[in-house]
Amino acid sequence: MPGRVIAIDGPAASGKSSVSRGVAAKLGFLFVSSGHFYRAFAWGVLRDGISPEQAPGWISGRRLEVRLDASGVSLLLDGEDATPHLSEAATAAMVSPLAAVPAVRDMVNTCLRALAAEHDLVMEGRDIGSVVFPDTPWKFYLDASPEERARRRAREGAVDSVAERDRLDSTRATAPLTIPEGAIVIDTTHLGLDGVISAVLELINAGDVR
Ligand code: DC
């Protein structure tokens, strides 16, 4: 039987990762950052010295291995651990242009759906409720003011431009960031992490996820 999927979408630094992690821990579901899959491929194109335009041909020859251990999901690209490279500035700068390439999205979506065939998931991203799992009954869209999101990213020590990534992610032709039909929208600007996790859990339990 395919697993249950709780989809949590939203712009960069809206709190998706921390909230998804917390909800997954409470429910005993697997936490999956779909952004990590795009970041692993972004690191790969940099490693191999190719451009996003060349990505459709390049990606068909790639082997992405998903490993699960006590610390969660880790990704190996062509046998190399991508984990140390996911937050690098060069990876962050490449990820949105690469994520706009339909062949890359197809490859990532195949991997994400394969995970759902085996596990109950809390998955966060930009198109999880709209494109990857449009039939899941549990969809959330987290948002926060641009100022608060920039502050959160700076606190994490990240150097990428949240505003620029949001612009690219929201305006691309394929699977742009959007509020999925049927999603519950939560503005996290003035909410603490525990408050958002509790709110999501209450809404899920009201919808009978167990
Ligand atoms: O969540 P994140 O910051 O790690 O995501 C990195 C980039 O990956 C994001 O800017 C756009 C892309 N992405 C996407 O296009 N679709 C997703 N479901 C997840 C991420």
Q: Which residues contact 35 (CB under 8 A, 6 or more apart)?
A: 95, 124, 125, 126
What's the whole-number mean pLDDT along residues 119-125?
97
Residue 209 in this model has a pLDDT that exceeds 80: no
Residue 210 in this model has a pLDDT that exceeds 60: no
Q: Give per-residue pLDDT as tens, 58-108.
A: 999 999 999 998 889 999 999 999 999 999 999 999 999 999 999 999 999
How many whole angstroms from 196 Cα to the centroid of ligand 1? Answer: 21
Task: Delimit the domains of the chain by residue range.
Answer: 1-29+120-210, 35-118
Distance of alpha carbon 172 from alpha carbon 96, whole angstroms = 9
In the prediction, which pLDDT does 105 show? 98
In the prediction, which pLDDT does 160 show? 66
For ligand 1, whether the C-beta of 172 sits within 6 Å is no
In the prediction, which pLDDT does 1 show? 62
Q: Which residues contact 54 (CB under 8 A, 6 or more apart)?
A: 45
For ligand 1, whether the C-beta of 188 sits within 6 Å is no
What's the pLDDT band for 117 if we cut at 50, 70, 90? very high
In the prediction, which pLDDT does 207 show? 64
Answer CATH for 1-29+120-210 from 1.10.10.10, 3.30.360.10, 3.40.50.2000, 3.40.50.300: 3.40.50.300
User: What is the CATH architecture assignment of 35-118?
Assistant: 3-Layer(aba) Sandwich (3.40)
For ligand 1, whether the C-beta of 39 sits within 6 Å is yes
Q: Is 181 helix (H, G, I), strand (E, B) or coil?
A: coil
In the prediction, which pLDDT does 85 show? 97
How many whole angstroms from 34 Cα to the centroid of ligand 1? Answer: 7
Helix axes 16-27, 193-206, angle to 10 degrees: 50
In this prediction the pTM is 0.94
How many whole angstroms from 36 Cα to the centroid of ligand 1? Answer: 7
Other beta carbons within 10 angstroms of residue 79's beta carbon come to 7
Protein residue whose Cα sits closest to atom 10 of ligand 1:
96
Domains 1-29+120-210 and 35-118 share a fold: yes
**DSSP alpha helix (H) spans, the chain:** 16-27, 34-48, 55-59, 89-99, 102-116, 146-155, 162-171, 193-206
Distance of alpha carbon 60 from alpha carbon 56, whole angstroms = 7
Q: Looking at 35-49, 121-135, 160-174, 183-197, which range is the least confident one?
A: 160-174
